[in-house]
């Protein structure tokens, strides 16, 4: 077969195709487009970028254009790559670019490859394949989304490469016989098509957020709306990364009742969820935990208020298994206690606490030394501290960084002795989890390590961190649920990278002999240097850092490293070296930071204000 370069006319046709295949969600149809071009293959190997729907508004629905009669191999490849970004039911248009056999076996919902930009495609140079032309598509891999809908940022080699084989069918039409195993999307298309949601599972008695991605509109394969997609994902179980440390209350095999495509709210703000027969015989305590998982999973998916979730039996459309209200679910979920105070180290190296007085029109901040042995001076000069979630104990590090003390914040008595950690430790600020364990890292260059003090009073134990490879931990923050820990790791003298690790604890089965932190994953891959971080509501992280060539900013990040959730107003250029937020969702507290101005506050809906002189601000945790 003779070959000729892809000409400018074909490129213009593709551009017009991109414009014509976008319609508003309320439109009733889409104009068709005939693709022109001869059925020939380029022998020059020109690389052509295929930037599908770059920058398209997320409210725009995109439909693929079916292949034209006698379309060239180049047009078939380009049309297929663009059709993968469409909202067609079951991606029917994309399948029209495939052979009959490939269309039947292609499973686009099995995985998603996310590229930092669009695909490049090039014909294999000079190759006379007896089966027909072959095209190579390449790009820079940003991440993958697996069959559990979990996002995994790409580490290591980022080159994406795939070969699409074309053959002619009985009507002499070129079709693709070897499509990618799943979808391949640019980052802009991925963010247009998918949205992040949290599923919730239990770690002990506490709910843990498991972030995943679902289609923003009806899923082409299942025909489920976003809420139903999310519930289906919840029932399927946790993501691979989180699964070793959490459990679901739903019996194995629990699914939505056959035929369920949509879930809706009634006039009493109740979501009713019909389940199959696997859940018919669960006891009430277990059923209420199931309903609690569902309530927390779906309550952020709607602009409507959700007061109650009711689970329905498989054998009767109106027969209830159980229900929970938002109030009763809060007790079951084991959410962190709403903090009474914020804490920081003042200029006299004392641990103090502060509280906002809202009794007047001009709110005032009241500060006072914490009660207990730390109230007396001089005792121990403090450089950093962490306060337990019940606000009854503090873990403090001495001014020289060598001593860790666990001190009661109630009653009186002498200062306790230091906790024995390492030979000559240089300690980070400590952190408490909700189970009462205290975490701290030793930055000693000769023996850097992560330590845990069980219950705050037990014998300190060194924690194995898989993948740390001798690098030092600059700071850390355990999540309130005790299932994850955020580690700020020194990559070089000038760069710190934020990771989130999974905390695996020994269990009664003896599957684990020691506590460990595993599968570190980058939590802010967009940033080349992170200076401070804190856990925030809904399993997010509040991160202070900068992108390559940028200024320092404070942003909420999704803990799977997938995207920026929101930026703090007025934080650009904020020289914060410490930041603190609460994980409480019901009553948000001000973000607290330490900058060159001292302790600064950002109340919800307000602006930054300096509230005290000091350093190392923390909330309980």
pLDDT in tens, 97-106: 999 999 999 9
Predicted confidence at residue 273, as pLDDT, reads 95
439-465 mean pLDDT: 94
Predicted confidence at residue 372, as pLDDT, reads 92
Q: How confident is the model at residue 512 (pLDDT cuts 50, 70, 90)?
A: low
458-472 mean pLDDT: 93
Going from the C-alpha of 605 to that of each of 400, 497, 571, the distances in angstroms are 38, 30, 14
Does residue 547 register a pLDDT over 90?
A: no
Predicted confidence at residue 12, as pLDDT, reads 35
Q: Which residue has the tokens 């000091």?
A: 614
Question: If you average pLDDT over every residue of the chain, what do you get?
Answer: 84
Just give the CATH number of 342-618: 2.120.10.30
What residues does each domain of the chain span? 8-193, 195-333, 342-618
The residues with which 411 forms a beta bridge, in sequence order, are none
109-138 mean pLDDT: 78
Predicted confidence at residue 386, as pLDDT, reads 97
Three-class SS state of 424? coil
Number of H helices, E strands in the chain: 8, 38
Predicted confidence at residue 50, as pLDDT, reads 43
Percent of the chain topping pLDDT 70: 85
pLDDT in tens, 558-593: 999 887 777 888 766 567 889 999 887 767 788 999
230-256 mean pLDDT: 96
For 42-64, b/e burial (b = at least 16 CB within 10 A) is: bbeeeebebbbbeebeeeebbbb
SS (H, E, C) 112-143: EEEECCCEEEEECCCCCCCCCCEEEEEEEEEE
pLDDT in tens, 404-415: 999 999 988 889
Distance CA 602, CA 145 (A): 35
Predicted confidence at residue 333, as pLDDT, reads 92
Predicted confidence at residue 83, as pLDDT, reads 93
Predicted confidence at residue 373, as pLDDT, reads 92
Going from the C-alpha of 478 to that of each of 148, 430, 534, the distances in angstroms are 25, 9, 9
Predicted confidence at residue 378, as pLDDT, reads 62
257-262 mean pLDDT: 91
pLDDT in tens, 327-385: 999 999 988 788 999 999 999 999 999 986 655 556 678 889 999 999 876 678 999 99
Distance CA 586, CA 562 (A): 25
Predicted confidence at residue 62, as pLDDT, reads 73
Question: Closest Cα to residue 287, out of 299, 301, 275?
Answer: 275
Does residue 320 register a pLDDT over 50?
A: yes
Predicted confidence at residue 370, as pLDDT, reads 94
190-219 mean pLDDT: 92
Does residue 469 register a pLDDT over 80?
A: yes
Q: How confident is the model at residue 29 (pLDDT cuts 50, 70, 90)?
A: very low
Does residue 30 register a pLDDT over 50?
A: no
Predicted confidence at residue 4, as pLDDT, reads 33
Provide the Cα torsion 310, 316, 318, 323; round to 10°. -20
Predicted confidence at residue 33, as pLDDT, reads 29
Does residue 46 register a pLDDT over 60?
A: no
pTM of the model: 0.85
Q: At what angle do helices 326-333 and 284-298 cross, to 10 degrees?
A: 100
Q: How confident is the model at residue 303 (pLDDT cuts 50, 70, 90)?
A: low
Specify the higher pLDDT residue, 268 or 277.
277
Predicted confidence at residue 361, as pLDDT, reads 56
146-170 mean pLDDT: 86
Predicted confidence at residue 375, as pLDDT, reads 86
Distance CA 371, CA 377 (A): 12
278-288 mean pLDDT: 95
424-441 mean pLDDT: 94
């Amino acid at each position: 077969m003779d070959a000729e370069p892809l000409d400018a006319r074909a490129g213009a046709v593709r551009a017009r195709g991109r414009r014509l295949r976008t319609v508003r969600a309320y439109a009733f149809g889409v104009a068709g487009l005939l693709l022109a071009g001869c059925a020939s293959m380029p022998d020059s190997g020109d690389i052509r970028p295929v930037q599908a729907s770059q920058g398209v508004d997320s409210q725009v629905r995109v439909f693929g254009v079916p292949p034209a009669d006698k379309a060239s191999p180049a047009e078939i490849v380009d049309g297929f790559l663009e059709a993968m970004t469409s909202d067609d039911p079951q991606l029917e248009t994309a399948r029209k670019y495939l052979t009959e056999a490939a269309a039947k076996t292609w499973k686009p919902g099995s995985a998603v490859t996310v590229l930092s930009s669009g695909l490049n495609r090039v014909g294999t140079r000079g190759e006379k394949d007896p089966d027909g032309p072959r095209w190579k598509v390449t790009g820079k891999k940003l991440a993958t989304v697996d069959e559990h809908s979990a996002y995994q940022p790409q580490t290591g080699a980022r080159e994406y490469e795939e070969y699409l084989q074309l053959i002619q069918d009985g009507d002499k039409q070129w079709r693709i016989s070897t499509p990618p195993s799943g979808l391949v999307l640019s980052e802009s298309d991925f963010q247009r098509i998918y949205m992040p949601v949290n599923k919730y599972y239990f770690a002990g008695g506490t709910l843990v957020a498991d972030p995943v991605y679902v289609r923003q509109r009806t899923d082409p394969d299942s025909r489920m709306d976003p809420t139903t997609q999310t519930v289906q994902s919840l029932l399927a179980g946790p993501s691979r990364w989180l699964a070793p440390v959490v459990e679901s209350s739903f019996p194995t095999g629990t699914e939505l009742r056959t035929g369920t495509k949509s879930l809706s709210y009634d006039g009493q703000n109740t979501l009713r969820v019909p389940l199959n027969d696997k859940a018919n015989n669960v006891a009430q305590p277990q059923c209420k935990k199931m309903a609690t998982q569902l309530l927390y999973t779906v309550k952020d998916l709607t602009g409507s208020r959700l007061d109650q979730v009711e689970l329905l039996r498989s054998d009767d459309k109106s027969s209830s298994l159980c229900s929970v209200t938002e109030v009763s679910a809060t007790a079951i979920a084991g959410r962190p206690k709403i903090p009474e105070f914020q804490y920081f180290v003042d200029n006299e190296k004392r641990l103090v606490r502060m509280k906002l007085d809202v009794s007047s029109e001009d709110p005032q901040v009241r500060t006072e030394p914490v009660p207990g042995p730390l109230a007396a001076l001089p005792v121990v000069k403090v450089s950093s501290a962490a306060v337990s979630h019940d606000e009854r104990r503090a873990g403090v590090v001495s001014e020289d960084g060598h001593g860790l003390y666990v001190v009661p914040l109630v009653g009186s008595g002498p200062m306790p002795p230091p906790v024995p950690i390492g030979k000559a430790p240089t300690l980070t600020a400590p952190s408490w989890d909700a189970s009462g364990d205290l975490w701290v890292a030793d930055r000693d260059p000769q023996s850097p390590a992560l330590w845990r003090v069980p219950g705050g009073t037990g014998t300190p134990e060194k924690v194995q961190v898989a993948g740390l490879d001798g690098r030092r931990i600059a700071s850390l923050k355990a999540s309130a649920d005790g299932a994850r820990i955020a580690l700020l790791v020194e990559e070089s003298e000038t760069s710190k990278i934020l990771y989130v690790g999974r905390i695996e604890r020994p269990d009664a089965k003896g599957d684990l002999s020691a506590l460990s932190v595993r599968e570190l994953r980058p939590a802010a891959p967009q940033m080349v240097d992170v200076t401070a971080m804190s856990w925030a509501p809904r399993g997010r992280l509040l991160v202070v850092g900068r992108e390559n060539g940028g200024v320092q900013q404070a942003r909420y990040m999704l803990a799977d490293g997938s995207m920026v959730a929101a930026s703090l107003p007025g934080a650009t250029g904020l020289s914060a070296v410490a930041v603190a937020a609460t994980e409480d969702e019901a009553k948000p507290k001000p973000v607290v930071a330490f900058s060159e101005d001292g302790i600064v506050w950002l109340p919800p809906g307000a602006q930054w204000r300096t509230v005290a002189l000091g350093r190392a601000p923390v909330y309980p945790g």
